[in-house]
């Protein structure tokens, strides 16, 4: 039987959600390394159809992204076919679902049934092993990377932003409570007098309608802040390059945020909440700034906005760290090592 992998994702391209971006990047890279694979998007294909199609595809390994959303289906398919299951843990899995009274049993059953579990950062590994010590030996840390598709040179928004006086702050994330999208507004109210041409841009789909409505209401009366909507990933490079500071105000992250990693890869200055998932990428005062309170956010944002040389220094250090530790090659090597331990036919030559 030919070695082939079934990737099962809660979302896939052309969705701009973080899971979709991650899965598309990994799938493209693995194909370039010679791995035969197919991606199933459970948000777009009914579960019975996924089951039938995966059975017809006859994979030798199943890789599920998001233990709660895709894990039960993937575990069922793997057991039925008697093949190994790899599960990649997301932020929602590790920070919420694993400890949620209504979801924990599902996540635990999936992790206990997986042949291997991958996480983006050691902090997530520690969180899982604290709850499930018996799975520790099956966990592998595979850091993410940043890859940009060819840009959209004809997109007028990025071109207009490059001509704007600035400074420009970019909040790139799906709009939902865990991303804390309204957090920057009040601190920035106090900086507008100093930086009257400041712009705060939100880019990302509204994933939680109440939070989206609350954000849009909060933007009323703040002409310096606007919501751009969901931005296709090929356009994100131009948007990031037109920005001066990338913001992450999340309450929790799954080891590392795509938005922060991509901003650092392009040499942008990053101002991020002081949480485990951001500390995996941002070293305060070295590769960006971390904040704990609205007051600290305002003070560090003021420093960044008023000092282009500081932004450049932090951005350069961030880019160098990404180039050293979070490359596409390292990410693919990590997954291929996991695959190879479970299926010798997938072992790198």
CATH number, position 321: 3.40.50.2000
Q: How confident is the model at residue 34 (pLDDT cuts 50, 70, 90)?
A: very high
Does residue 297 share a domain with residue 171? Answer: yes
| Number of domains making up the chain | 2
Does residue 82 share a domain with residue 199? Answer: no
* Residue 257: predicted pLDDT: 85
* Residue 308: predicted pLDDT: 96
CA distances to 28, 147, 184, 252 from 231, in Å:
20, 16, 20, 22
Give 322-339 pLDDT, tens digit per residue.
999 999 999 999 999 999
pTM of the model: 0.89
Residue closest to 203 by CA, chosen among 225, 172, 226 = 172
Does residue 221 share a domain with residue 174? Answer: yes
Q: How confident is the model at residue 166 (pLDDT cuts 50, 70, 90)?
A: confident
* Residue 331: predicted pLDDT: 96
The stretch 112-121 carries a mean pLDDT of: 95
CA distances to 88, 173, 186, 199, 252 from 182, in Å:
29, 12, 8, 15, 15
3-state secondary structure labels for all residues of the chain: CCCCEEEEECCCCCCCCHHHHHHHHHHHHHHHCCCCEEEEECCCCCHHHHHHHHHHHCCCEEEEECCCCCHHHHHHHHHHHCCCEEEECCHHHHHCHHHCCCCHHHHHHHHHHCCEEEECCHHHHHHHHHHCHHHHHHEEECCCCCCCCCCCCCCHHHHHHHHCCCCEEEEECCECHHHCCCCCHHHHHCCCCCCCCCEEEEECCECCHHHHHHHHHHHCCCCCEEEEECCCHHHHHHHHHCCCEEEECCCCCCCCCHHHHHHHHCCCEEEEECCHHHHCCCCECCCEEEECCHHHHHHHHHHHHHCHHHHHHHHHHHHHHHHHHCCHHHHHHHHHHHHHHHCHHHCCC
Does residue 294 share a domain with residue 163? Answer: yes
Residue 151 clears pLDDT 70, i.e. is over it: no
The stretch 193-199 carries a mean pLDDT of: 96
Does residue 340 share a domain with residue 316? Answer: no
The stretch 30-39 carries a mean pLDDT of: 95
Does residue 227 share a domain with residue 130? Answer: no
Q: Would 151 be classed as within a structural domain?
A: no
* Residue 161: predicted pLDDT: 79
Residue closest to 183 by CA, chosen among 296, 19, 269 = 296
* Residue 1: predicted pLDDT: 56
Does residue 233 share a domain with residue 110? Answer: no
Residue closest to 338 by CA, chosen among 2, 41, 37, 62 = 62
**% of residues, the chain, pLDDT over 90:** 74
Residue closest to 69 by CA, chosen among 44, 100, 86, 92 = 92
Give the least confident one: 125-134, 224-233, 248-257, 264-273: 248-257
* Residue 193: predicted pLDDT: 96
Does residue 284 share a domain with residue 138? Answer: no
Residue 29 clears pLDDT 80, i.e. is over it: yes
Q: How confident is the model at residue 152 (pLDDT cuts 50, 70, 90)?
A: low
The stretch 16-41 carries a mean pLDDT of: 91
Residue 173 clears pLDDT 90, i.e. is over it: yes
* Residue 254: predicted pLDDT: 66
The stretch 284-306 carries a mean pLDDT of: 97
Q: What value does the CA radius of gyration of the chain take, rounded to a whole number of Å?
A: 21
Does residue 171 share a domain with residue 64? Answer: no
Q: Would 150 be classed as within a structural domain?
A: no
Q: Domain range for residue 268?
A: 156-325
Average confidence score pLDDT of the chain: 92
Residue 158 clears pLDDT 60, i.e. is over it: yes
* Residue 154: predicted pLDDT: 63
Q: Would 15 be classed as within a structural domain?
A: yes
Q: Would 214 be classed as within a structural domain?
A: yes
* Residue 298: predicted pLDDT: 98
* Residue 55: predicted pLDDT: 95
Does residue 284 share a domain with residue 176? Answer: yes
Does residue 49 share a domain with residue 14? Answer: yes
Residue 31 clears pLDDT 70, i.e. is over it: yes
Does residue 200 share a domain with residue 188? Answer: yes
- Please provide residue 150's backbone torsions phi and psi, each rounded to the nearest 5 degrees: -55, 135
């Amino acid at each position: 039987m030919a070695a082939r992998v079934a990737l099962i994702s809660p979302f896939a391209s052309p969705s701009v959600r973080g899971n979709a971006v991650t899965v598309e990047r990994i799938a493209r890279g693995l194909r370039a390394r010679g791995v035969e694979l197919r991606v199933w998007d459970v948000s777009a294909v009914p579960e019975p159809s996924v089951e039938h199609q995966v059975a017809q595809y006859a994979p030798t390994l199943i890789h599920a992204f998001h233990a709660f959303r895709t894990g039960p289906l993937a575990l069922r398919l793997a057991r039925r076919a008697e093949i190994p299951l790899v599960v990649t843990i997301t932020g929602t899995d590790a920070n919420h679902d694993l400890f949620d009274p209504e979801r924990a049993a599902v996540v635990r059953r999936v992790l206990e049934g997986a042949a291997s579990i991958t996480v983006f950062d050691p902090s997530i590994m520690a969180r899982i092993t604290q709850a499930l010590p018996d799975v520790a030996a099956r966990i592998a840390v595979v850091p993410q990377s940043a890859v940009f598709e060819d840009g959209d040179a004809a997109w007028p928004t990025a071109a207009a932003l490059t001509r704007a006086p600035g400074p420009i702050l970019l909040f790139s994330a799906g709009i939902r409570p865990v991303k804390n999208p309204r957090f920057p507004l009040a601190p920035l109210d106090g900086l507008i007098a100093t930086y009257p041409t400041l712009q705060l841009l939100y880019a990302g789909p509204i994933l939680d309608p109440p939070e989206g409505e609350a954000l849009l209401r909060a933007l009323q009366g703040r002409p310096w802040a606007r919501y751009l909507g969901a931005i296709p990933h090929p356009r994100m490079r131009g948007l990031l390059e037109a920005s001066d500071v990338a913001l992450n105000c999340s309450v929790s992250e799954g080891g590392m945020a795509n938005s922060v990693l991509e901003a650092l890869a392009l040499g942008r200055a990053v101002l991020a909440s002081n949480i485990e998932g951001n500390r995996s990428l941002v070293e305060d005062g070295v590769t960006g700034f971390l904040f704990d309170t609205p007051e600290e956010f305002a003070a560090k944002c003021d420093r960044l906005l008023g000092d282009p040389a500081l932004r450049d220094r932090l951005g350069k250090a961030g880019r160098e760290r990404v180039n050293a530790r979070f490359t596409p090659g390292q990410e693919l090597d990590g997954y291929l090592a996991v695959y190879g331990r479970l299926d010798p036919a997938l072992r790198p030559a």
